[in-house]
Structure 1
Amino acid sequence: MNFTNEPSFVIFSTAHIVAVIIGFVIIYILFLMRNKWGGIEPIEKFYALSLLIMELLYQTWMWKTERWDVSYSLPLELCSISLILTIVLLWTGSRHLYDFVFYAGIGGALQAIMTPDLELSFPHFRYFHFFYTHFGIILTACYFTWYKGYRPTFIGIVKTMILLNLILPIVFLVNWLFRGNYMFLRAKPTGGSLLDYLGPYPWYLLSLEFVAFLIFLLLWSIFRNSEMEKGGTK
């Protein structure tokens, strides 16, 4: 794709660091206010709509600028799938969706935020879309945990791992049919990522299963221990 005369994103640049700081400050504020407010359903619906509108605007922008292509524009990346389920979770409150959004959503979004596969930087719309939607996944998972009383469980890890492995064959097929690289199942991202430390293709795919399980286990342990410390539900 040609992004001539458009701001190029550089990892760990000022634009990157500022977005990360703002996002985590908002998460911290959400944490500090967790005992003051409960869940507010109208806000949940409004936030779900804002995430949906942001994604639709992104798809429209790609289509209008002739960037849309079936090989990379379908919502088949882990964070794209997590975003869709996040929107549905905000709208329905489904406890089944919460497990996936909490584990795969937070795990995938954190990795994406720290090492973005992003071409365009501030003040381009794509920059705002990327960080708004990725932090939106994390904020939603934390909101349902801190405000709605949902709790991550070890069974939730198992369910998430099973669902991910059920999704993979579908993504493999789409990649093969359209020469895509959804979920980086055919090659690593060129801009650098965690995958660079997990071995060559295709072995990094197996390593990623183990790493995903460890990340999910760490998330469960952190939130479980925090609940135990304040005498909450375990």
Structure 2
Amino acid sequence: MDRFVPYGPSHWVLMVLIVVGSVAVAAVGHRQRGSPSAVVFTRGFALVLLAFGVVTLTYRLLPAHWDIGESLPLQLCDLAWIVAVPALWTHRPLACALLYYWGLTLTPQAMITPALDAPDFPSFDFIEFWGQHLLVIWAAAYLTWGAGVRPTWRGYWFAAAVTLSWGAAMLVFNARAGTNYGFVSRKPDNPSLLDVMGGWPWYLGVEVIVGLAAWALLTWPWTRSPRRVVRA
């Protein structure tokens, strides 16, 4: 089986799916907003994401596939799908805020510069990586533009605090376990935006500054909009 190649045919197909799927679920959510069918759709979406996440996580935890550096659900993209389930099910503001910032900034970045050294479709690694990322982005798009759950500065500061706490915890865990979750202990081997942010540990500070600034820019337009529906 051929190996996955960044910016090869399958990668471009998936990049298109990000946009097409996001527009589709947002349109469905907007059309259903306030109706009983919206509850059925959003909770069905949550169950699909939960089922996908549990199956892939169970596979990774099996002895034959166990790898302490990859099997634990400690990457932010892993935490994003875990957060997406209650966010879709309940529309709770803080869960939706985490999904908004993680799902619409960090997850797309992981898809643009994928750290995936695996066979191409239809390998399990390929389906796991891309399926998880696509579902998270679609969930964030659905809640934001479909269901009308919008970010606020409270959600911004909550997401910032949780993310910084996670980063600090990963630094400690990586040092003890010899892993590199979150790429906070060293840069990934594949090209990424971190390559232009300096060496370790300087790129961590740059990443925080750039990330918080980008999140602020993604919050500001919503907080000025008179058409807010639900605050997150």
TM-score, structure 1 normalization: 0.87
Q: Output the CA distance in 2 between the equivalents of 1:138 and 1:155.
A: 22
Q: Tell whether the 8 Å contact from 1:100 to 1:156 is kept in structure 2 after alignment.
A: yes
Q: Output the CA distance in 2 between the equivalents of 1:72 and 1:130.
A: 12
Tell me the equivalent position of 1:83.
81
Tell me the equivalent position of 1:200.
199
Tell me the equivalent position of 2:128.
129
**Deviations, residues 86-137 of structure 1 (Å, cap 9, x unaligned):** 1121223211111111012221111011111112221212222222211222
Q: Which amino acid aligns with 2:16?
A: I
Q: Secondary structure at the match of 1:36?
A: helix
**Deviations, residues 156-213 of structure 1 (Å, cap 9, x unaligned):** 2222111111222221222122111000011111111111111111110001101111
Query: What's the C-alpha RMSD, in Å, of the aligned pairs?
Result: 2.1
Q: Which amino acid aligns with 2:98?
A: F
Q: Which amino acid aligns with 1:159?
A: F
- Which residue of 3, 18, 29 maps to 1:8? 3
Q: Tell whether the 8 Å contact from 1:7 to 1:124 is kept in structure 2 after alignment.
A: no
- Percent identity (aligned): 28
- Which residue of 106, 109, 122 maps to 1:108? 106
Q: Which amino acid aligns with 1:122?
A: F
Q: Which amino acid aligns with 2:64?
A: E
Tell me the equivalent position of 1:232.
227
Tell me the equivalent position of 1:94.
92
Q: Which amino acid aligns with 1:72?
A: E
Q: Which amino acid aligns with 1:176?
A: A
Matched, 1:17 2:16: no
Residues paired across the two proteins, number: 225
Q: Secondary structure at the match of 2:47?
A: helix
Matches within 5 A, 1:20-35: 20-35=15-30
Q: Which amino acid aligns with 1:201?
A: W
Q: Tell whether the 8 Å contact from 1:38 to 1:147 is kept in structure 2 after alignment.
A: yes
Tell me the equivalent position of 1:152.
151
Tell me the equivalent position of 1:45.
43
Deviates more, 1:124-133 or 1:17-26: 124-133
Matched, 1:188 2:187: yes
Q: Which amino acid aligns with 2:166?
A: I
Q: Output the CA distance in 2 between the equivalents of 1:207 and 1:105.
A: 20
Structure 2 regions of 5+ residues with no counterpart?
none
